[in-house]
Amino acid sequence: MSPDSRPKTTIGPGVKIGPGANVTPTRNIGPGSKVGLIGLGLMGRPMGLNLLKAGFSLTVWNRTASRADSLVAAGAELADSPQEVAAVADVLITIVSDPPALEGVLWGGAGSSPGQDSGALGALRPGSIYIDSSTVSPTLARRIAAACQQRHIAFLDAPVTGGTWGAEKGELVFMVGGDAEVLKDAQPVFSVMGKRWFHLGPNGSGQTIKLAMNLILALQVDALAEALALVTAAGLEGEKLVEVLQSSMARAGVLDVKAPLLLKGEYPPSFPLRLMHKDMGLALDLARETGVQLPAATAAYSTYSAVKAQAKEDLDYAAVMKFWQREKPS
């Protein structure tokens, strides 16, 4: 697609375009708007289906193209590269596995020839909105924000929580960093995919809160696994512990979802262990950057690392229970 044939974003009267200009486009985002979606994993695919059901025009790309089949069948267009998705998008959404994957999509190397401007970022039109719902570092989010500002693109870091069930029902929760006015413009998109969104501060804030929250979830499940190991080693049924927990101050929403997995010893990946391990590592990196000691997180990270190293399949992070199961005498 040539630059002249790209769809144009409407810019309001009096707006100055040029280096350092404060570009404030007139946006009217809603059904019929063109949304680009890059990343069609456990979360991305149901998010895309909800966008289609709401009437958005959707163009998608994924490194493994077959993952787009259900979306294409529902009416999405499959692009050949991240740049092709970005070039047609009023709103671009990315939700990929880790920082290297996101950097490849934005700056080249993921379906494109490597180069500073060969990725999706270089193809976005001035005035468009870019939303990243991956979980990455706050530092990377701020780097993306700076690159977007140079190109007059509005950027929100908006990682999500809610699991695959939340993505399917359109009940995700978004943690958003960036300009409040941009979030207001993007609300029609968020409202299709989620039930709540929190504006937490400037770019990088969404990622900071997401890493802290995932750290809590990892510690809660690790603590439950330890406690179950203790109870069962003492000759009691783990179900008894969970029953009491659910009626006590120790009750947590994560128990509703993860306790049955730990009790059964079955770990289908709703939130994969590999991704939780990555997020814990990012949280520990942030702790080092900010000079905060995280002794409990450091110990838990070691436990998750041991289980991940032994895993031969894609498991949910509740599989941390395997650390104690493998210690049982044969």
CA distance 158 to 173: 9
Q: How far is CA 168 from CA 45, 171, 186, 193, 262, in A?
A: 9, 8, 20, 9, 24
Q: Which residue's structure tokens are 């693109």? A: 153
- Give the length of the chain: 330
CA distance 278 to 42: 16
Please give the full DSSP string across 63-75, using - where no structure is assigned.
SSGGGGHHHHHTT
Active-site residue flag, 210:
yes
- One-letter amino acid of 156: L
β pairing state of 34-38 and 57-61: parallel
Q: Are 82 and 105 in contact (CB under 8 A)?
A: yes
Question: In terms of C-beta density within 10 A (0-12 exposed, 13-18 middle, 19 or more buried), how is residue 309 classed?
Answer: exposed
| Residue in 210, 278, 308, 322 annotated catalytic | 210
Q: State the catalytic residues.
A: 210
